[in-house]
Each structure stands twice: as C-alpha cells, then as structure tokens.
C-alpha cells in the first residue's frame, strides 16, 4: 500500500511536470536592416517556433546591444563595432553567424551638397546612432572629405527618429548617417546621398550575430538549425525576391518592392562561402572567427 501511495504520487507529479515543462525561449534582439531580413523571413514562415527562438525587434543597433548587455536577450545582431564595444567587457562574447557585408547599405546623407558642406562656416548637425557603426562611418567620411575642422554638432538619435527628419524643417547644414532601408524615407524627405560603404573600399562593415560562448555551446543545436534556416531564406530570396518581400515587408516600413530590390545591391551575402579575405581581415581586427558557423 505504501509503495502504491509513493508510486502514485510520484507519477502524478511526473506527468504534471511533463505536461507543463517547456524550455526557455532563446531571445535574439534584432533591428531593421536588409541584412537581417532572412531572420524576419524565418520568423514569418514560423520556422523559428520549433526552435523555440523569439526575435526582439528594436529600432537601433545600439539598443540591440544594450538589450543583450542588460540580459534581456540571449544573442544580438550587429556590426563589428557593436561587437568590439561589448567584447571589451565580456570576454566570452563571440560571433556565431555572418549575414552580410555592407556594400552601400550604410549611407551618409545631407540636405546640402559636399561642396556646400566644405564651404559652409555654419555648425553642421550630424544625426547618427553614436554607439554604433554610424560613428565609424561618420569619422571616415569627415576624414575623406576634409571636414574634420568643421564645427560638428553630434545628435544621437535612433534610426526610427532619424528617418522621420525632413530637409525642409532643418535650418543648419545636416549630415545623416543611416542605413538601408531608413535611407529611402530620408531621400524622399529631401536628403541626398554623399557617401556609402559601396564607394569606400577600405571600410569593411559586416553584420553578424553574437552571443556568449557558454550559451552558444549550450544551444549549439538550435543555432546550427537557425543558420540553416538563414541559408534557406537567402536561397528563397535569390529564387523568388517578390515572395520574400511580401513575407517580410511589414518589417521594412515605407519600402516598396523596387526599393527593396535596390537595397539588395547594397549588401553582399556572406552567410555561406565567406571569402577567406574577409575572414583574414576580421581576424586582423580582433574579431573572433572560431565559433562562426560555416
């Protein structure tokens, strides 16, 4: 009777636990960028549900990074800049997945031409996400076009805010550092492109996913599966860009199909078959490559 009692109680508890037990979700913070659309595609296709992965969508790269830093996400996407910033504090941070190399996707816009910028004595307002690759791009731009001596007023805003700026409302000469697809809104609002990663061969901007080494090892199976899904999404994009666009257009506000197609030219996919040259370059800039899922 005692044995029956113990057995029955344990069975009740066991089945109760089994019925309700579910693994914690893997939370990946992500921002709106053409290079990350394969993740949105996977989400919309409901491929992420079996892997128990949740995407946290924020509007800036730095917000992405801070979410991860605050422990509210398990992995985040970003460029080498966001990686370098955090890796100084977190030695276990490691890149695990590459998405794309910016090939014009990161853009510098202005309400006046480069010549006017060079001539002006006024203070130049520079809108950017300071804690992101935007800073590097701006520094590089100022250096190339000898604008270092100009009086620059750095305005730190996220891209959701920046993308709503209108050139008519601005009185000062203005430089905007943005990226696809936010540039389309800004160009519609009267800004013109001065420079991009396409015409700066020295500047390597790659987009990747980062997480803690321990977390990666613990969830390797899920990340490997996610990598396959990204590859599949990129393949679908190549085969049927229209279908891809229709699936993810909610995540690209105010972006037409044509603009979407144009923005694809601004990135080079490096999710698979990463050129050795890029790997070497990354390695040379203290970017860990050993955990990158090939």
Partner 1 sequence: MIFNIRRLILFFISILVLIFYSIFAYYFFKQEENLAKVILKTINSNITETSYTLSKNLKSKNDVLLYRALLDRISANNDFISAIAILDDDKLLVVTDPAYEKIDNMPTIKKNSDYKELMNNKYIETDIRFFENKEIRKLRLVYILEQEELTLHFIDNKINFLIYFGLLPIIAFSLLLILLRKYVSNPLEQLRQYAYYNNDVPKAFKVRELESIRYSMVDTFSRLESEKKELYLMARTDSLSGLSNRNSLNEYLERLILTSKRNKKEFAFLYLDIDHFKSINDSLGHNIGDELLQNISKLLKRILRPSDFIARIGGDEFVILIQEYDSYLELSNVINRVQKQLSKNWVIKTNPINISCSIGIAFYPKNGKDSVSLMKNADIAMYQAKKLGRNQYHFYTEELNETVQNSINLDKDMRLALKNNEYELFYQPKVDLNNSQIIGVEALIRWISHKKGLIAPNNFIPLAEENGFIEELGEWIIDAALEQYVKWREKDIDISISINISAKQLSKPNFAKRFISKLTKKAINPAKIDIEITEYIFIQESFETNNNLNKLHNFGITLSLDDFGTGYSSLSYLKKFPITYLKIDKSFLDDYHTKDGAIFIDTIVKMGQMLNIKVIAEGIEKVEQVEYLKKIKCDQYQGYYCSKPLKAEDFEKLYLENII
Instruction: Determine the Cα–Cα distance for residues 130 and 153; give it in Å rounded to an integer.
Output: 12
94 binds partner 1 (CB under 8 A): no
- Phi and psi of 266, rounded to 5°? -85, -5
- Listed in order, strand segments (DSSP E) in 26-105 are 26-31, 53-58, 75-79, 93-102
The CA–CA distances, whole Å, from 187 to 162, 192, 236, 258 equal 12, 6, 29, 15
56 binds partner 1 (CB under 8 A): yes
Instruction: Determine the Cα–Cα distance for residues 91 and 148; give it in Å rounded to an integer.
Output: 34
13 binds partner 1 (CB under 8 A): yes
70 binds partner 1 (CB under 8 A): yes
- Nearer to partner 1 (CB atom), residue 25 or residue 242: 25
Spatial neighbors of 290 by CB under 8 A, at least 6 apart, are: 94
Provide the 8-state DSSP code for 281.
H
- Nearer to partner 1 (CB atom), residue 20 or residue 115: 20
- Choose one: 1-9, 170-178, 209-217, 256-264; the region binding partner 1 (CB under 8 A): 1-9
**Interface mask toward partner 1 for 16-35; x: CB under 8 A:** xx--xxx-xx---x------
Tell me how far, at minimum, the Cβ of 57 lies from partner 1, in Å: 6
- Nearer to partner 1 (CB atom), residue 186 or residue 293: 186
Q: Which residues sit at the interface with partner 1, rule CB under 8 A?
A: 1-2, 5-6, 9-10, 13, 16-17, 20-22, 24-25, 29, 43-44, 56-60, 63, 67, 70, 72-73, 158, 160-161, 164, 250-251, 253
């Amino acid at each position: 009777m005692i044995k029956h009692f113990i057995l029955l109680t344990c069975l009740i508890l066991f089945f109760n636990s089994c019925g309700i037990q579910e693994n914690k979700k893997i939370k990946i913070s992500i921002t709106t960028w053409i290079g990350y659309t394969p993740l949105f595609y996977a989400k919309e296709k409901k491929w992420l549900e079996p892997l128990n992965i949740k995407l946290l969508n924020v509007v800036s790269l730095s917000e992405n990074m801070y979410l991860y830093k605050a422990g509210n996400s398990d992995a985040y996407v970003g460029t080498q800049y966001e990686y370098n910033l955090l890796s100084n504090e977190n030695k276990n941070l490691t890149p695990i997945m590459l998405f794309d190399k910016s090939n014009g996707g990161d853009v510098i816009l202005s309400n006046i031409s480069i010549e006017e910028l060079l001539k002006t004595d006024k203070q130049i307002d520079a809108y950017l996400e300071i804690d992101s690759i935007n800073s590097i791009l701006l520094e590089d731009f100022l250096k190339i076009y000898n604008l270092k001596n100009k009086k620059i007023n750095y305005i730190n805003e996220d891209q959701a805010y920046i993308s709503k700026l209108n050139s008519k409302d601005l009185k000062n000469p203005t430089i905007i550092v943005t990226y696809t697809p936010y540039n389309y809104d800004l160009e519609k609002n009267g800004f013109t492109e001065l420079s991009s990663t396409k015409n700066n061969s020295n500047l390597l901007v790659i987009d990747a996913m980062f997480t803690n080494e321990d977390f990666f090892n613990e969830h390797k199976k899920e990340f490997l599966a996610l990598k396959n899904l990204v590859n599949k999404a990129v393949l679908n994009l190549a085969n049927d860009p229209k279908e891809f666009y229709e699936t993810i257009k909610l995540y690209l506000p105010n972006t037409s199909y044509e603009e979407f197609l144009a923005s694809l030219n601004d990135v080079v996919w490096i999710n698979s078959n990463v050129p050795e040259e890029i790997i070497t370059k990354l390695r040379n800039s203290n970017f860990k490559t050993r955990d990158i899922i090939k």
